[in-house]
Amino acid sequence: MTARGEPASATTWAIETRGLRKIYGDRVALEDLTLTVGYGEVFGFLGPNGAGKTTAVKMLVGLIRPTAGTGWVLGRPLGDAHARRQIGYLPELFRFHDWLTGEELLDLHAQLYGLSRAERRRRIPEVLELVGLTDAAHRRIRTYSKGMQQRIGIAQALLGSPRLVILDEPTSALDPLGRREVRDVIRRLRAEGVTVFLNSHLLSEVEAVCDRVAFVNRGRVIAIGPLDELLRGELVVEFRLGALPDGTLAALERIVRVEDVRPGERPTLTVRAPDEATIARAVDLLVGAGVPVYGVVPERRSLEDLFVRLVEDGERPPA
């Protein structure tokens, strides 16, 4: 099912997929997944529930087979055992053998990674320390809180010192503090040159750590690229002004897109601009027209807006 070879593509990217498709009966779980993730990148994989994110992730780690399409992970075909040696994976809905202690669980998974006894003795305390579970190492996982279980899950993914870490909704069960800890772990991995594939519907999460993102909806990638590129054209600013002479608004609209006007003695405009220089030109125009400018307040434009817009429009953002 998976074509072998093509070493050129295989060495360039940590993950490369072409037209991956998954159909269960007559239900299409994944329409067409085509994307590339570079080595050392922290890659965000975003989409609403049911978009096919988890299906895609499961294909990358060999849990399910694609109906069509091909893919390579770390230069190997999907599901390749050698590649899996270098992949750390945190499943979305997972349960561990909760009668084991944290340390026993890590020992089990370290053995599955093929670590020797000496390596295990060195590595297990390291990852326990990394996720802050050193004190709970000898407690049964059954007694762990949800956040602790999630952290032991991250710990097992890091045991094999992987080159690629795939995290499926790693923070959904965590409180804000736990989220920050996960974020710190991801940043540390990036500093070590590890490629991270982060599947999340939490945009703030992705925004905080990812270099590049892909948006998926209805089983296909609807936008992909570096964050700042995707967010270009997403600069939204609120102008707090004095009285607007006739025609000024029309002139302004030739420079920026006016999205909202709240009239009054001191009208407030919400405008969208591709970049800051355009905003400056808009301010110049207003000042030139004698309009008092009381405030220029950049609205925090986030992935969330882009996300919502992309999903609603179902269209590509302007290049």
Partner 1 sequence: MTKALVIARLTFREGLRKKLVLGVVLLSVVFAALYVWGFHLFVQDWRAMEARRAASGATTVLPYEVFASAMVLLGLWTVNFLAGIMTIFASVGTIASEIEQGTLHAIVPKPIRRWEIVLGKWLGYATMLVVYIGIMVAAVVVTARIVGGYAPPNVLQAYALIVLVALMLLSLTILGSTLFSTVANGVIVFMLYGMAITGGLVEQIGTALDNDVLVRIGVLSSLFVPSDSMWRLASYLVQPRIAVNFLGPTPFGTTVPPSSLAVYYSIGYAVVMLVLAMVRFQRRDL
Binding site for partner 1 (CB under 8 A): 58, 61-65, 81-82, 84-85, 87, 89-91, 93-97, 99, 108-109, 111-114, 153, 156
- DSSP conformation class of 31: E
130: Cα separation from own chain's centroid: 21
Cβ at position 90, least distance to partner 1 in Å: 8
- CB-nearer residue toward partner 1: 91 or 267: 91
* Residue pair 268/240 in contact by the 8 Å Cβ criterion: yes
- CB-nearer residue toward partner 1: 156 or 200: 156
Q: Measured in Å, how far apart are the chain's first and last C-alpha atoms?
A: 34
Cβ at position 138, least distance to partner 1 in Å: 17
Cβ at position 112, least distance to partner 1 in Å: 4
Cβ at position 120, least distance to partner 1 in Å: 12
Cβ at position 73, least distance to partner 1 in Å: 11
Cβ at position 223, least distance to partner 1 in Å: 28
Query: Residue 254: which residues within 8 A CB-CB, separation 6 or more?
Result: none
- CB-nearer residue toward partner 1: 123 or 212: 123
Instruction: Report helix, strand or coil for 197.
Output: strand
Q: In three state form, how does the secondary structure of 78-136 look? A: CCCHHHHCCEEEECCCCCCCCCCEHHHHHHHHHHHCCCCHHHHHHHHHHHHHHCCCHHH
What span, in angstroms and rounded, lies between the C-alpha atoms of 81 and 161? 16
Phi-psi region of 154 (alpha: psi -120 to 50; beta: other; left: phi over 0): alpha
- CB-nearer residue toward partner 1: 45 or 113: 113
Report CA dihedral (303, 308, 309, 313) to the nearest 10 degrees. 140
Cβ at position 277, least distance to partner 1 in Å: 48
- CB-nearer residue toward partner 1: 115 or 216: 115
- CB-nearer residue toward partner 1: 91 or 242: 91
- CB-nearer residue toward partner 1: 70 or 156: 156
- CB-nearer residue toward partner 1: 23 or 208: 23
Count Cβ neighbours within 10 Å for each residue of 238-275 and write b for 16 or more, e otherwise.
Answer: bbebeebeeebeeebeebbebeeeeeeeebbbbbbbee
Cβ at position 61, least distance to partner 1 in Å: 4
In the chain, alpha helices (H): 7-12, 53-60, 81-84, 102-112, 117-130, 146-158, 176-191, 203-209, 227-231, 248-253, 276-288, 303-313
User: Residue written as tokens 């109906």?
Assistant: 67
What span, in angstroms and rounded, lies between the C-alpha atoms of 106 and 115? 11
